[in-house]
Amino acid sequence: MKTNTCSIYVVEDDPLYGSLVEHYLSLNPDFQVKRFNSATELLKCLHEKPDVITLDYSLPDSTGDKLLQQIKEQSPETNVIMISGQDEIQVAIDLLQKGAHDYIVKNEETEGRLRISLQRLKKDIARKRELESLKTEVARKYDFKFKSMIGTSPAIKRVFDLLEKASATNITVSITGETGTGKEVAAKSIHFNSPRKNKPFVAVNIAAIPRDLIESELFGHEKGSFTGAVSRRIGKFEEAHKGTLFLDEIGELDINLQAKLLRVLQEKEITRIGSNEIVKIDVRILVATHKNLLAEVKKGTFREDLYYRLLGLPILLPPLRERGNDILLIAKSFIDAFCQENGLTEKQLSVEAKKQLLQHPFPGNIRQLKSLVELACVLSNTDAILPEHLEDVQMPTRVEELNPLGVSLSLKQHTCRIIQHCLDNNEYDVMKVAQILEIGKSTIYRMINNGELVLYKHPSKIA
Ligand X SMILES: Nc1ncnc2c1ncn2[C@@H]1O[C@H](COP(=O)(O)OP(=O)(O)OP(=O)(O)O)[C@@H](O)[C@H]1O
**What's the min distance (Å) between Cβ of 294 and ligand X?**
18
DSSP 131: H
- State the chain's maximal CA–CA distance in angstroms: 88
> Binding segment for ligand X among 118-126, 161-169, 180-188, 404-412 (CB under 6 A)?
180-188
Work out which of 6, 8, 42, 185 binds ligand X, going by CB under 6 A: 185
The count of chain residues that interact with ligand X, using the rule CB under 6 A, is 16
Q: Is 184 in the site for ligand X (CB under 6 A)?
A: yes
Least separation, in Å, of the C-beta of 173 and ligand X? 13
* Residues 6+ positions from 353 with CB-CB distance below 8 Å: 376, 384, 385, 386, 387, 389, 390
* Contact predicate 23/10, CB 8 Å: no
Is the Cβ of residue 50 or residue 177 nearer to ligand X in the bound state?
Answer: 177
The CB density around residue 412, as the number of other CB atoms within 10 Å, is 10
Is residue 191 near ligand X by the rule CB under 6 A? no
Among the listed residues 150, 297, 409, 418, the single contact to ligand X using CB under 6 A: 150
Residue 363 is a binding residue for ligand X (CB under 6 A): no
Give the integer Cα–Cα distance in Å for 281 and 300.
29
| Smaller CB separation from ligand X, 122 or 290 | 290
Which residue number, 31 or 362, has a Cβ lying nearer to ligand X? 362
Q: Which strands, in side-by-side order, build the sheet including 79-84?
A: 31-36, 6-11, 52-56, 79-84, 102-105
For position 204 contacting ligand X by CB under 6 A, the verdict is no
Is 290 a binding residue for ligand X by CB under 6 A? The answer is: yes
Q: Which of 114, 163, 261, 366 binds ligand X (CB under 6 A)?
A: 366
Cα 337 from Cα 244, distance rounded (Å): 29
Q: Please give the Cα distance from 320 to 370 (Å, whole number).
A: 12
Within 342-394, where are the H helices? 351-359, 365-379
Residue 177 in contact with ligand X, rule: CB under 6 A:
yes
Q: Binding to ligand X by residue 179, rule CB under 6 A? A: yes
Question: Could you tell me if residue 228 is left (phi over 0), alpha (psi between -120 and 50 degrees) or otherwise beta?
Answer: left
Q: Which stretch binds ligand X (CB under 6 A): 106-114, 182-190, 236-244, 411-419?
A: 182-190
Choose, by CB under 6 A, the member of 64, 180, 243, 318 that binds ligand X: 180
Instruction: Rank residues 18 and 180 by Cβ distance to ligand X and give the closer one.
Output: 180
The yes or no reply on residue 183 touching ligand X (CB under 6 A) is yes
Q: Are 84 and 106 in contact (CB under 8 A)?
A: yes
| Contact flag: residue 251 with ligand X (CB under 6 A) | no
Q: Does 149 bind ligand X (CB under 6 A)?
A: yes
d(CA 183, CA 249): 10
- Examine residue 151 and tell whether it contacts ligand X (CB under 6 A): yes
Cα separation, 194 vs 71, in Å, equals 29
> What are the residues binding ligand X (CB under 6 A)?
149-151, 177, 179-185, 290, 330, 366-367, 370
